[in-house]
Structures are given as structure tokens and as C-alpha cells.
A and B are shown apart, each in its own frame.
Chain A
């Protein structure tokens, strides 16, 4: 049995934040869950995917976040508890649905989880999605710890049902990817069969209906404010004159700092866990009881703006500070020492920071950036594209996935990136605006997510560029989730359809379509040259399974290769492919047989044909 389905209330378990959230949803009786995978949220849906195979939970990997939002919205409008999980930028994709769902509301509880990523550990921006609550008028809750995240899910469902509105649940990476000891609660048996009651004059958002629904939404915000004001997740500790207001993980750093600085007697500490609407009736008296207030929140001055507005309404003139050059930044994530130091500075408390070692005499260390795996098919494709486009001064719009790592030298096959699907739309734009050759790259899952409309646009507006679809049969970057082009038999699952990328591309009417096997270097280069020479839209589908994924499915892996005595040290293999299986020892190139996947790409480009398959262990040693 899946460990998160354990029926043993009171049992303690070490859980990752994302596991605690998934467990929280199960304890709350979630019936329908949907997602498009995205770090740092991915393990939540991975656990849903696994649990759905042995419980009544309906879970799906949807094509993109907007579809996931619509699936969950319909489930909640059929009376079921639904949850929709995505990373912060996924909410941008789903926002069109979300903004009007706020007007329509729900019948069963619905929780929309946004996993924000301060510092951009694995994201293209660090937008603060608390503003989505303000923008949509939907209630927002935020946990400070792994344990609280579990319990807050059930609370979010309750609030959602009371207000008949979806509730936004915001985490940050340090909640998703932290672990702590969590006490299991009781699992609520979910209602799994919904019913939809027709009510078009409240559910079909034509202007006349929406004008009425917006009034209802504003009334709901007032009700939500009362819930926020009565919420146990907005609480004050201490009764000093120095006010601190925190949300999320900054609450932990401030709690530790207050202890370490030994200033608890002076502090009045407000933790905001229900952060939209902000609890006016808690904050105003709090401000009146303080001499000065420090607001500690990662990201934007979301609470600070509202707290200052409350102070203005009350005519209070106490210092209220948060974001400032000498205090907290809008950039990146915070850490305990930084919070401790700023608290000490703001309240003028003596503080001696830890003495860090002088590292000025430490030599400059070689960088260790993440890189495409040994034998990665993307490397083979990029090599072929570079050969085919040699001397053309090509622009390479790229997209979101492992293949974005092509940005690093020596591949250097990424020139422009905005968001999921942008390689296609920007490919159209660059080809229309410059005389340069344009070759765009998009992954298979990203193509389904949001690449298709761009390609339709390219055909309709007759743009001149080549789109290379890197089809590695999985959503590799986020941990090998399925997508509509995947054979679900790989997961031993039946009852799924399968969409062919090639058929989609041909159906769109792309005039030049070719499929390549990127491990066949010369054939791939030839096909790419033809596509690049084509005037108009051309598509190359580069098909080869992700090597990590193939290994995890125990699909055959080729024999490793080694470099024999014919090697004349040209180093084209190392310098042009940069496969991490190569290493230099004694001024010669070697191949690490443990890493080599046997793709044979290097063997095909070696001018001396000195790279050959390993036949015996002897040969590895003699290399």
C-alpha cells in the first residue's frame, strides 16, 4: 500500500512537504486531482498518480495547467472535492480559467495549489503569486511548515465549501522540499460521484450573468475577510511593543531569531497564514499596540502594502518597514541569519554574527553546472543541428525542459526563452523580423502543453523557420511524468489514448515534416539541412527515448564505448559534444564505462574511428 494511504491516525511519519500536502488532500477526502508537472510541486502529483492506482481518487496529468484547472473546476461544480496543482508560472497559463472561475464559484471544495520558487532554483522567474489572490478575489492560505501544510489543506477545503469559491494555497520551494515529522490524521472517505445541476444564468458567463456574479464575488470577499479575521492560522504571540509580521517560511526564521536574540519579552509577533483577504480586525489593533513594526515576507511587499494602508486608515504614524535597501530585499529567498540580523538592526538589539571563514585564499573552483546526461538524445540532436546550420548565423529560440541546458557551451543552442511554448511563437516573430535563419527547439511534453497554437500560427501566417521537436517519450525534467504522446503501457496502465506528434504536425498542414533518429548522426544532419533550406515552416521530429527513462524502464542500454590506441587526441568528442562520460587523465581522453550509455554518437564523429564498443573488461583497462 502507498505509505500516504496509511490508516493509522496518530502515527508519526517523516514526510517531504509535498508528501504532507498530498496526504492532507487525502485526509480531506479529495476526489479529483489534476496537474501539469512543475518543480517544486511535482512530487505532490506524483503521489496522487501513485495513490490513484490503488484508491478511489481520480487523478490526471492534464495537457497543461489551464486544462487541469478546467478539469478540477468542473469536478468542483459537480459537487466533488477537487485539487489542482501547479508551479507558480503554471498559474499564468491557468489564469484565464481562474479569473472567471472566481465569478462562477464552486459547489464542492476546490483547492488550487501554486508552488512559488523564490531564488528560482528551477524556474524562469520568481513571481509572487499572492497577487493572484488579490487579482481574482479568491481566498489565499499559506503554510509555514511541513506539518502545517498537511492540516491547512483540510482547512482550505472547508473554507472553499463555506464560501463556494476555490481557495488558493501558496507554498514556496522551502515548504515543498523540506521534510519534517508529521502526525497522520483521519482519512475522510471521499464522495466520488458528482452530479451537475443546470443553472445557466449563474454558470454561463455571458456579460449579463457576469455583471451579477461580480457583485456576488465582492460580497464573498467580505465574507472571506471575516473568516480570515477568525482564522486560527492568523495568530499573535507575545505582548511586547515591537511588532513583527510574517508569513510562510520567514515565520520560522523570525521565530528562531527571537529566541536566539533573547527578545521574546519585547516582541508582539503576528503570523499570517490566511493572507487574502488580510485580517483587518487583527492587524489594526496589533498596530495600535506596537511602537514599530517589521514585516518579513519573501518576494513582493504584499503584506506591507496592506498593513500600511490599514495604518493610514487608522491615522497611525508608527514606523512600518519591510522592503528597503537596509532591510529586506524583493529578490531571492531569505535565510535565518539574514532575518536575525535585520531584526537586530531594526529593533537596535546587540548582535554578533557568526564568524565566517576567510576564503580569499581558496583557489577558484571549477564550476559544476547541471548538464545533459551522458548519452542524452538532445545532445545528439543539438550536434546535428549545429553541423547542419554551420556558418548560417542561426537564431535558436528554445523552450522549457532538460534541453534548455543546451544553453551551455559547447552546444550553445539556446538564444531566447520566455515560457512554455515560446520557442514556436518567438520563432514566428524572429523569422518575420530578421533575415536570420531561425531554428526553434521544443520538447514533446511542452509541444502538447502550448506548442501547438504557435505551430498553427506559423502555418497560417506562412513563417519561415524550422521547429525541432525533441521527442524523448516523457516529461523528463520534472521526473518522467507521462504526456499525451506516451505509451501508458510503460506504466502498466490501460484505458488511455495516445496522440501522435507526427500526425498532429501533419494535420496542422506543415509542408515539410521529417522524423530523425538523432543517434544516426549523418542521416540526421542531412535531414536537418533539407529542413533548414526549405522556405516556409518545416518540422523535424527528433525521436529517441530519454536515456534515464529508458534505463528506469529497464529497456536495453547499449554497450559502453572506449577510446583505443588509434586516438590522435583531436578531442572533437570532448570539445563538441561535451558528454559527461568523457574524462581526461594523463593528457588523454577516456570514457567512464559506468556513465556511457552506448549511444555511439561520439564514435561516429571521431576522425580516427578510435571510439569503439567495449568487448571485455581488459579493453577498458588498456584504454
Chain B
């Protein structure tokens, strides 16, 4: 089957490893080949956490610069930083609620202008879905469900070969029981948000 490559970038603590695990479990349910890799040595120390998910007939678990089909960004400046993973055909989905790094607070850097940031991403890629996923996570009942909101919008684009139904099943089996309902709600809100953006 055709290979689809997804890069997820986030800040440590935003839950992108769980998001990729849910995708992996959903692929397992549908019997779709999947390989993933992650760099999480410093995940709890506020650094950038990147994971790669490769669906289909490929042996590699990592994705080279310029070769992502979809870039899913949990934090807008990190989405922009990962633009080197994209090409003109790449679809970008990004949260627009910023989480400025500490370097900004101590005056060692300037956080990019959010409008300029969106403009740049839109110019250089095929399509961008951008919305305040943090607000939707809160609406779902827990700000930690940001990852599920973004999964919802990812699945809505239809680029990944996993169905909403299987992802929801995977959410039920591989996220904490106490949060399943919130997570499903968050997934649905993200799905709707992406549909509206289209």
C-alpha cells in the first residue's frame, strides 16, 4: 500500500507520544502496516518532542527533511520550526495557541508573530488547517486533551489511512479510563474544527 508519512511536533508534556501511540493502535486494529519513532529522552524537561509515524509499505521509522505528507504541530512556533520537514504538497495542521519557550522570558529570543507565522506556513505548503486547539481541549473538559483534538483534525483530512472509528476505538483502549469520554469529545471537536476550516 501507499506510504503516508506524518511528523508530529510538540513541547514536552503536550502528549504527542500518546497521540502517536493511539494512531499506531488504530493501525493495528485495521491491519495497516505502521512504524513509528520518537525522540523522548528530554521529554519531561520542556524540550521539543518529535515523533514520526509511517503508514504503509516502508521499513524506515524516520522521515527525512522535505518528505512529510502531513505535519501536525501542537505548538505554533514548533510547527514553523518543523517546516523543513515539509514540501509544496504537505498538509499542515497546527494548534494556534502559543506556549512561548522560556528563552523568550529571559530575553534570549523573540516569539514569532502568529499571523506572519500562519502566512509563512500557508505560502510554503499545500494547505494549512489552523485553529485554537487549546480552547477546544478546554471545551472538551480538560486542557490535556489537546492531543486528541489534534488527532481529530488529522483524521478529518482523510490523508492518513486510518478511520475515525478505529481511532476512537484506540482512544477507548489506550488512554486512561477516567479520561476516555473527554478524549472522545476532544477528538470530535477537533474533527469538526478541521471540517469547518476546509
CB distance from A412 to the nearest CB of B (A): 12
Residues of A within 8 A of B40 (CB): 177
Interface assignment of A574: CB less than 8 Å from any CB of chain B: yes
Per the 8 Å Cβ criterion, residues 23-45 of B in contact with A are: 24-25, 27-28, 33-42, 44-45
Residues of B within 8 A of A511 (CB): none
Interface assignment of A50: CB less than 8 Å from any CB of chain B: no
Q: Are B21 and A179 in contact (CB under 8 A)?
A: yes
Q: Are A252 and B66 in contact (CB under 8 A)?
A: no
Q: Are B44 and A548 in contact (CB under 8 A)?
A: yes
Segment among A188-196, A331-339, A464-472 that sits at the interface with chain B: A331-339
Q: Are B61 and A174 in contact (CB under 8 A)?
A: yes
Segment among B97-105, B154-162, B181-189 that sits at the interface with chain A: B97-105
Interface assignment of B15: CB less than 8 Å from any CB of chain A: no
CB distance from A123 to the nearest CB of B (A): 9
Q: Are B78 and A368 in contact (CB under 8 A)?
A: yes
Residues of B within 8 A of A371 (CB): 45-47, 102
Per the 8 Å Cβ criterion, residues 158-211 of A in contact with B are: 173-174, 177-181
Q: Are A580 and B39 in contact (CB under 8 A)?
A: no
Q: Are A252 and B12 in contact (CB under 8 A)?
A: no
Q: Are A402 and B45 in contact (CB under 8 A)?
A: yes
Given contacts A251-B59, A366-B100, A369-B47, contact A121 B109 (CB under 8 A): no
Q: Are A368 and B101 in contact (CB under 8 A)?
A: yes
Q: Are B124 and A357 in contact (CB under 8 A)?
A: yes
Selected from A179, A365, A578, the residue in CB contact (under 8 A) with B81 is: A365
Q: Are A580 and B108 in contact (CB under 8 A)?
A: no
CB distance from B197 to the nearest CB of A (A): 21
Interface assignment of A350: CB less than 8 Å from any CB of chain B: no
Residues of B within 8 A of A174 (CB): 37, 61-62
Q: How far is the CA of A582 from the CA of B106 in the complex (A)?
A: 9
Q: How far is the CA of A578 from the CA of B108 in the complex (A)?
A: 11
Given contacts A145-B59, A180-B36, A355-B87, contact A366 B66 (CB under 8 A): no
Interface assignment of B175: CB less than 8 Å from any CB of chain A: no
One digit per residue, 1 when the CB lies within 8 angstroms of any chain A CB and 0 when it does not, for chain B 76-115 equals 0110110110111000000000001111111011111000
Residues of B within 8 A of A548 (CB): 44
CB distance from B67 to the nearest CB of A (A): 5
Q: Are B109 and A365 in contact (CB under 8 A)?
A: yes
Selected from A12, A180, A255, A338, the residue in CB contact (under 8 A) with B61 is: A180
Q: Are A370 and B38 in contact (CB under 8 A)?
A: no
Residues of B within 8 A of A144 (CB): 59
Selected from B35, B66, B109, the residue in CB contact (under 8 A) with A367 is: B109
Which residue on A lies nearest to B11, using beta carbons? Answer: A368
CB distance from A590 to the nearest CB of B (A): 10
Selected from B25, B57, B66, B109, the residue in CB contact (under 8 A) with A354 is: B66
Residues of A within 8 A of B27 (CB): 14, 181
Given contacts A353-B66, A354-B66, contact A366 B88 (CB under 8 A): no
Interface assignment of A324: CB less than 8 Å from any CB of chain B: no
Residues of A within 8 A of B116 (CB): 363
Residues of B within 8 A of A361 (CB): 120
Which residue on A lies nearest to B34, using beta carbons? Answer: A181
Residues of A within 8 A of B118 (CB): none
Interface centre among B36, B37, B40, B88 (most CB of A within 10 A): B37
Q: Are B61 and A252 in contact (CB under 8 A)?
A: yes
Selected from B21, B48, B78, the residue in CB contact (under 8 A) with A14 is: B21
Given contacts A14-B28, A121-B41, A371-B45, contact A366 B104 (CB under 8 A): yes
Residues of B within 8 A of A354 (CB): 64-67, 87
Residues of B within 8 A of A578 (CB): 102, 105-106
Interface assignment of B164: CB less than 8 Å from any CB of chain A: no
Q: Are B35 and A336 in contact (CB under 8 A)?
A: no
Interface assignment of A267: CB less than 8 Å from any CB of chain B: no
Q: Are B110 and A252 in contact (CB under 8 A)?
A: no
Given contacts A368-B11, A369-B47, A371-B46, contact A336 B67 (CB under 8 A): yes
Q: How far is the CA of A543 from the CA of B85 in the complex (A)?
A: 44
One digit per residue, 1 when the CB lies within 8 angstroms of any chain B CB and 0 when it does not, for chain A 316-356 equals 00000000000000000001111000000000000001111
Show the binding face of A for B, using Cβ within 8 Å: 12-14, 39-40, 121-122, 144-146, 173-174, 177-181, 249, 251-253, 255-256, 259, 335-338, 353-359, 361-373, 402, 405, 409-410, 548, 574-575, 578, 580, 582-584, 589
What are some 22 contacts across the A-B interface (CB < 8 A)? Answer: A12-B28, A14-B25, A40-B41, A144-B59, A178-B61, A181-B28, A181-B34, A252-B58, A335-B64, A336-B60, A354-B65, A357-B84, A357-B87, A363-B112, A365-B81, A365-B109, A367-B103, A368-B11, A368-B101, A368-B102, A370-B45, A373-B46
Show the binding face of B for A, using Cβ within 8 Å: 11-12, 20-21, 24-25, 27-28, 33-42, 44-48, 57-67, 77-78, 80-81, 83-84, 86-88, 100-106, 108-112, 116, 120, 124-125
